[in-house]
Structure 1
Amino acid sequence: MSDYRLWLAALPRPLAEADARVYWNLKDPTPALTEALADAAYLYVGSWQETHMSEHPQSGRSPAVRLFDWLFLRGTIDDYRAPTLNPQLRDELTGLYRPRPDDLPSESVAAHELESFLAGHMSWHLLPEETPPPAP
């Protein structure tokens, strides 16, 4: 069974739509996308397995998978982008991160660490990353 891991990458500048399209469609990264991810601030959020997944967004059985799914929807619906972290998105993400009675055991960072990261990166642009951040 595969383990998936989630890091939030907070980018200080928005991505061009063409770069965001490349990112969300899992194509080879463009130079601008590579540079943006190298400049990003990262937070490890947690992990999940296939048993945690759901066909319905926001319904995954792990806080990390719910955040991944929601950012994927926000980044691909209407236009391709790295969603901008504003109070509404912060509240959505912290709400999705709360444990639910039907959650399966999974690794997750403490909620206050997520909240602190989000508060410290307002107006930045979020992408979900499944690989560790680039080494400095």
Structure 2
Amino acid sequence: MEEIYQLWLAAVPSPIPENEARIYWNCKDDPTPVLDEGLRRASYLHVGSWGDEHEPENPHAGQGRCPANRLHSWLFYLGTINRYQAPVLDEELMAQLVELYHPRSSDLPADAIGLPRLESFLRQHLGLYLLTEEPRSETYR
């Protein structure tokens, strides 16, 4: 059975310590009290979903065969390259994400929100920290 992946963006209002970002990006179950509090206060946006067929043949950051997959891989790359972090959503990152979200001729059909909705969310949350985290039922607003 094919795996379905969901991309949610979490705009976290406070920085995440590097040790907790390492735990987050490595999918560990160790305690992350600062991250947990930030996620409780975060704003969320469901961007889209994809399946195994959307994965790139040669995995590279920002690649993929649908917009949500490209955003997910780029944010993972930024969160783990050089040091573990929650990337700051600034104008440069916003422009990168918008560019990656544009359809490509190699894209396969996939569930996704419209670009204006993504741009609006990103614009509203400039200066916050961006993670690819699905809201827990008690945190979603």
TM-score > 0.5 by shorter chain: yes
Deviation at 1:68, TM superposition (A): 0.3
Aligned match of 1:10: 11
Contact 1:10 / 1:121 at 8 angstroms: preserved in 2? yes
Question: Are 1:100 and 2:91 counterparts?
Answer: no
SS at match of 2:111: coil
Residue type at the aligned position of 2:76: F
Aligned match of 2:137: 134
Deviation at 1:30, TM superposition (A): 1.5
**Normalized against structure 2, the TM-score is what?**
0.91
Number of corresponding residues: 135
Deviation at 1:34, TM superposition (A): 1.5
Question: Are 1:90 and 2:94 counterparts?
Answer: yes
Segments of 5+ residues of structure 2 without an aligned counterpart are none
Aligned match of 1:44: 46
SS at match of 2:98: helix
Inter-CA distance 85–34: structure 2 relative to 1 (3 Å threshold): same
* C-alpha RMSD over aligned residues: 1.1
Q: Percent identity?
A: 49
Segment drifting more, 22-31 vs 5-14: 22-31
Kindly report structure 1 stretches of 4+ aligned residues shifted beyond 3 Å: 131-134
**Normalized against structure 1, the TM-score is what?**
0.95
Deviation at 1:90, TM superposition (A): 0.2
